[in-house]
Copies of this chain bind each other. A is one copy, B any other.
Amino acid sequence: MSTLRERNRQDKWRRIRKAAESLFAERGFAGTTTRAIADRAEVGVGTVYLYAKTKEDLLLRIFVESIEAAIDEGFATLPDAPIVDRLLHVYGCFFAFYRRDLALARVLVREMTLGDVDLPANVELSMSFNRRVAALLGESALRGELRRDLPAELAATNTFALYLISLVAWLNGFVDEAGRDAMLRASLNLQLEGLGPREES
């Protein structure tokens, strides 16, 4: 196997990644030029484009694995608590991640949800995350905390939708962190209880 080639590639990518990450933090996404990234990484501009299709792609590649870590962290530290609190914990890990840099989070979420068509949409990531939430809900259903016949995957997607709306509200500055948490908790509770009339037997 080609070792020198491989090592060179990995080294270049590491440098580009590091340069981009630091520059995004220092000057924001729009404020960072691809030239600046190339300079700091000590490569040519063209080289950057051998490792990422576009500037947006670069951002995604850099942060997606951090997000994966945040997900794992969330599921690894689940509290022994009612299902709503467990969900809030998981989604709270996302919030904590995005909190590090709100402006960047904005771009990141935008690209992840409706990014360029010919970019590698991280379908895998979404699917696997949804399955994990579904598993959480499934457990809860088994314990009798939720309906036994719960369509877990669908329910998981619903909770994700509620998370996404509160995330957008937060990133748009409509609510602060407390408001965001209150909003998500309330909407999750409403999803649990349902909108329908209490049926009397």
Bound CA span A39–B133, Å: 52
Q: Are B197 and A194 interface neighbours, CB within 8 A?
A: no
Bound CA span A192–B155, Å: 12
Q: Confirm or deny: A187 has a beta carbon within 8 angstroms of a beta carbon on chain B.
A: yes
Instruction: Please pick, from B121, B151, B171, B198, the residue contacting A190 in the complex, using a CB distance under 8 A.
Output: B151
* Nearest CB on B from A56, distance (A): 12
Q: Are A154 and B196 interface neighbours, CB within 8 A?
A: no
Segment of A9-17, A45-53, A69-77, A106-114 engaged in the interface with chain B: A106-114
A192 contact set on B, CB distance < 8 A = 194-196
A109 contact set on B, CB distance < 8 A = 114
Bound CA span A196–B137, Å: 11
* Nearest CB on B from A163, distance (A): 9
A186 contact set on B, CB distance < 8 A = 151, 154
A191 contact set on B, CB distance < 8 A = 158, 190-191, 194-195
A110 contact set on B, CB distance < 8 A = 110, 113-114
Q: Confirm or deny: A146 has a beta carbon within 8 angstroms of a beta carbon on chain B.
A: yes
* Nearest CB on B from A149, distance (A): 9
Bound CA span A106–B170, Å: 22
Name the CB-closest residue of B to A145: B197
Q: Which A residues lie at the B interface, using CB under 8 A?
A: 103, 106, 109-110, 113-114, 117, 121, 123, 137, 144-148, 150-151, 154-155, 157-158, 160-162, 164-165, 168, 171-172, 174, 186-187, 190-201
The 7 A-B pairs with the shortest beta carbon distances in the complex, nearest first, are A194-B194, A161-B165, A161-B161, A110-B114, A192-B195, A192-B196, A193-B194
